[in-house]
Amino acid sequence: MYIFTRESTRVSKYYGFNMKTKKHDLIQISILPYINSVLRVILMISILTPIVFLTNCQTKKNTPSEAAGPTFRSWAPTPPMGWNSWDCYGPTIVEAEVKANADYMAEHLKQFGWQYVVVDIRWYVENDKAGGYNEDNPILALDEYGRLTPALNRFPSAANGHGFKPLGDYIHSKGLKFGIHMMRGVPVIAVKKNTPILGCTAKAQDIYSTENQCIWLKDMYTIVAGKPGAQEYYNSVFQLFASWGLDFIKVDDLSGRTAEIEMVRKAIDNCGRPIVISISPGGDSPETADFLKNNVNMWRTSNDFWDNWPALKNQFRILDSWAGPGVKGCYPDGDMLPLGKIGLRAERGVPRMTGFTKDEQYSLMSLFAIFGSPLMFGGDLPSNDEFTLGLITNKDVLEVNQHSLNRKQLFRENDFIVWTADDPKTGDKFVSLFNASDQQPVVESKAIWKSELITQETPGQSVDIDLDIAGARKLFLVATYDDLLGYGKHNCDWIEPVLTRKDGKLKLTDQKWVKASAGRGEPVVNKTAGGGKLTVNGKEYNNGISTVASSIIEYDLPEGCTRFKTKAGIDKDALLQLGQIGSRASARFMIFVEDPAGPMPADTASVSVKFDQLGLTGTHSVKDLWSGEKLGQFTDGFTRTINRHGAGLYRIH
């Protein structure tokens, strides 16, 4: 026990204590009867405190905000898998086509994890077109609160104010999930009508700005964060979407626009329904990953990805730069899979089976699987052939995509590339071997002249060229660019190109080229692809060649040519398209008098990986995940023969 003296407050041990009163009298108090009770209390506290502490720790461990991150991450526990209408139907999809693709998914794909059916852009326009957008006289469907609604001539079940709910119900009845596309902002037509905003007194004209309007589609104006009614408008849109039973939203022209991303995030969280959000078209850098992981489930890593090998080859560099930042529920998105039958009424190209070879399709699926990208199939599902169906229903490959961890590029030696990932269940390693070797289309050392990179900051936005070509029989005009992500604008012109001979001068534009290629479309003589004037640094020209890098134009030269003269520069069409996050106008120009291409590589090559590069030693069994074949035991490493543009995907146990 302790003894306290009131005046000195001195403490001493005893089994009873005397306490002085103010008159210095001592009061003896015996507490021996209380000892057992006190000891019991102390014992109970010593037992219960650790239990309470452990319980609190366990509760904190399961709190989404601290451990699992924001709640919305749980809505996409694995990379989403589904179908999107863009690659085959562009902005013209109709209800029957959506249902046909949903029916196919339910019958053939659902058992493998495919579940989202997504209606892409401009479902609200009655009179849109393939090969671009009708921006001359579009008829948009709108409700009284300035919210876009389905065009009834394309989605008849939306009549009588039902919106997309009947179509959503149909998709849900198949055990699938329903998604749509939207453009960020408030409709221009809503601003013109100054429609009221549901849930507040503000109107459309109170929340908009013409600044930063989407450069490639003018349906919407920017919503200014912080203005009264701005958040309420987005809230009202997602309340409408929730009433339709929406499970997935793709928000376009949103990448890099943090204020609007945050408004959309709040609107989804406020709508009362778990809606997975994907943003596009890309342009973010890996440094923004923390912000993205706190606001969205999927974010695009590249510009629109189409069915050509150069675009696929560029994905290796892009996805390597994004390896690592993703977490459960938040995924860098390599864009849609342009596989199967595409281009039925698309923005680009004619109806076709994918332009990828079978080897390239294996490369695409292997890369997206081991990277862990969301998988959104772009082709018309009912038109699938057996090869395409087998490609997207390989359980072993989909397992890599859905559940592997620690995904990364292990090394790249020239165009031999190796990616690896871990199986968290077994500790096995997944390895993908790629042979991306190519005939180099342009060997710069063969050029007789080349420019620096010409950009909008270059004086004159152009370079003058005057070259001796005496004795040459060929002329190649080449334009390239250095843009990794593909967000730059590369419209460029060869202005007033002239050949000099002893008997005078010849306009190159009067000569027919042998062949020509461009980054988009084909080169055009004496006008731009859109029919406008050739314009460099604000000056118009009547004579020249307009193209888009990367571009190679080949000519057979008339005899006796001694000089070639031209101006090469950035066309104003490139400058007019700037505004998308990450965009920049640029081109590099080169002149060749021989084929600029390098030698053609072999059709196959051996690609090897050593086990110590994977953190493994000794002997391991290897299984080919595409064929299902067990390849046997390998010591220290293994080597496979891979077709050019092809890939292999393996489990190492």
pLDDT per position as a tens digit, 490-517: 889 999 999 999 999 999 999 999 999 9
Looking at per-residue confidence, does 13 or 622 come out higher? 622
**Structural domain tally of the chain?**
3
* pLDDT tens-digit readout, 251-265: 999 998 999 999 999
Q: Is residue 568 part of a domain?
A: yes
Residues 208 and 89 in one domain: yes
* pLDDT tens-digit readout, 513-554: 999 998 877 899 999 887 889 999 999 999 999 999 889 999
Residue 577, pLDDT score: 60
Residues 162 and 269 in one domain: yes
539-543's contacts with Cβ under 8 Å and 24+ in sequence apart are 541/493, 541/495, 541/496, 543/495, 543/496, 543/507, 543/509
Range scoring the smallest mean pLDDT among 143-147, 457-461, 471-475, 572-576: 572-576
Residue 22, pLDDT score: 35
CB 571 within 8 A of CB 536: yes
What is the radius of gyration, based on Cα positions, of the chain?
A: 33
Supply the range of the domain harboring residue 366.
79-403
Confidence of residue 49 (pLDDT cuts 50, 70, 90): very low
Looking at per-residue confidence, does 643 or 62 come out higher? 643
Give the DSSP H/E element, type plus range, for residue 262.
helix 258-270
Q: Which tokens in the block code for residue 617? A: 């030693």
pTM over 0.85: no
Range scoring the smallest mean pLDDT among 95-104, 146-155, 276-285, 455-464: 276-285
Residue 51, pLDDT score: 36
Confidence of residue 613 (pLDDT cuts 50, 70, 90): very high
Residue 62, pLDDT score: 31
Give the DSSP H/E element, type plus range, for residue 527.
none
- Around Cβ 425, how many Cβ atoms within 10 Å? 9
CB 149 within 8 A of CB 119: no
Q: What average pLDDT does the segment 95-115 reach?
A: 98
How far from the centroid of its chain's Cα atoms is residue 578's Cα? 19
Residues 469 and 554 in one domain: yes
Confidence of residue 287 (pLDDT cuts 50, 70, 90): confident
Q: Among 592, 626, 645, which residue terminates a domain?
A: 592
CATH number, domain at 303? 3.20.20.70
CA terminus-to-terminus distance, the chain: 67
Residues 295 and 342 in one domain: yes
Query: To the nearest whole number, what is the mean pLDDT of the chain?
Result: 89
- Residue 120 to residue 178: CA distance in whole angstroms: 11
Residues 143 and 36 in one domain: no
* pLDDT tens-digit readout, 214-250: 988 999 999 999 999 999 999 999 999 999 999 999 9
* pLDDT tens-digit readout, 389-437: 999 999 999 999 999 999 999 999 989 999 999 999 999 999 999 999 9
Whether the pLDDT of residue 485 is over 70: the answer is: no
Looking at per-residue confidence, does 20 or 307 come out higher? 307
Q: What average pLDDT does the segment 188-210 reach?
A: 98
Nearest to 485 by CA among 288, 318, 313: 318
Whether the pLDDT of residue 205 is over 70: the answer is: yes
CATH number, domain at 509? 2.60.120
- Residue 64 to residue 73: CA distance in whole angstroms: 9
Q: Is residue 617 part of a domain?
A: no
Confidence of residue 68 (pLDDT cuts 50, 70, 90): low
CB 603 within 8 A of CB 641: no
Q: Is residue 342 part of a domain?
A: yes
β-bridge partners, 147: none
DSSP string computed for 369-429: HHHT--EEE-S-GGG--HHHHHHT--HHHHHHHHH-EEEEEEEEETTEEEEEEE-TTT--E
Residues 143 and 203 in one domain: yes
Residues 250 and 350 in one domain: yes
Residues 23 and 114 in one domain: no
Q: Is residue 409 part of a domain?
A: no
